[in-house]
Amino acid sequence: LTVVFAGDGAAAGSYGYTNSGYSVYEEENDRLTESLRSKVSAIKSLSIEIGTEVKNQNKMLSEMENDFDSTGGLLGATMARLRTLSRGSQTKLLCYMMLFSLFVFFVIYWIIKLR
């Protein structure tokens, strides 16, 4: 790089700026450019991390949706069985409840007796 000086010590084509004044502006521009470059780099890495996190969250949401679908199917089948049970005779249901109560009573009695 060669600099051609005019007669008064200013570089030719610098439009009246002296070399020292021009270099101050150039150094300031370089400093600001480097600052901007580092900020852009930080924003780029942050956006890449956000993209990765979004992909992970979408994957987890998809898995959770599949789990909810399977749970919904199981709950639907259970509700259908309960409806079938409730449509049956009330005598049968009462008999089942009595047998269950007796079973629980004997289990509790047996546990107390073993102590």
pLDDT in tens, 4-41: 555 555 455 545 545 566 788 899 999 999 999 999 99
Q: What is the mean pLDDT of the chain?
A: 82
pLDDT of residue 21: 67
Q: Please state, in angstroms and rounded to a whole number, the distance separating the CA atoms of residues 42 and 48.
A: 10
66 falls within a domain: yes
94 falls within a domain: no
- Dihedral-angle region of residue 15 (phi above 0 means left; psi in -120 to 50 means alpha; beta otherwise): left
* Domain that residue 61 falls in: 25-88
For 80, other C-beta atoms within 10 Å of its C-beta total 10
User: Who contacts 22 (Cβ-Cβ below 8 Å, separation ≥6)?
Assistant: 11, 14
* Mean pLDDT along residues 75-80: 84
Residues linked to residue 11 through DSSP beta bridges, in sequence order = 5
The least confident of 26-35, 50-59, 88-97 is 88-97
Domain total of the chain: 1
* Mean pLDDT along residues 64-85: 83
pLDDT of residue 89: 66
